[in-house]
Amino acid sequence: MTLSGKKIAILIAPRGTEEPEFRKPKEAVEAAGAAVTVVGLEMGEAKTNNHDLDPGGSYWVDKAIKEVSANDFDGLIIPGGCVGADKLRANPATVAFVRSFFEQAKPVGVICHGPWLLVEADVLKGRTVTSYPTVKTDIINAGGSWIDKEVVVDKGLVTSRNPNDLPGFCAKIVEEFEEGKHPQQARTA
């Protein structure tokens, strides 16, 4: 398996993370052999959403954000959902966790509204990314370049726009996680 021995963190917010953007990337990296840890704001069950407003499934949080470090992982997945991404970016420990992956040159996959965390972590200067269209101005204001493509890869950072892009996004994050550290990833951290 391509990701055998790799440890990947995936973020989840209570009542806000977009279910397919959480479930499908998690399944993809697990199918490739990675061990995945679900990281949330607190322990317990986290309910997801579909289309931001409709109830989704419930998922168990393996570790609270205060219990983890980027040192523990080989890569990070940040799902979207405007409610979930907003809750995550409002938490300083989560923002610091995200920034640490860039400082350590580790690959990160981000979809939909997830780039709000990258804006908050101040890691977008000089990067080319995509996102849900309403995040475009925030990305540009944070020093990034925004393009409307299914999947954008920028030195270990993989971004996509929405759930329709999940097949391409999932394939690319597996590829980038397999490659491992990207020295250029740390250029904006």
Q: Closest Cα to residue 115, out of 152, 75, 64?
A: 152
Q: Is-contact 106 74, C-beta < 8 A?
A: yes
Instruction: Give per-10-residue mean pLDDT for the chain (189 aa).
Output: 93 93 98 98 92 86 97 97 94 98 97 97 97 97 98 96 97 95 70
Residue with tokens 């995945």: 36
Residues annotated as catalytic are: 112-113
User: What integer pLDDT is reported at residue 187 of this predicted model?
Assistant: 62
Structure tokens at 46: 């986290």
Strands 145-146 and 157-160, sheet pairing: unpaired
User: What integer pLDDT is reported at residue 184 of this predicted model?
Assistant: 75
pTM (predicted TM-score): 0.96
CATH fold label, 7-183: Rossmann fold (3.40.50)
User: What integer pLDDT is reported at residue 12 of this predicted model?
Assistant: 98
User: What integer pLDDT is reported at residue 49 of this predicted model?
Assistant: 84
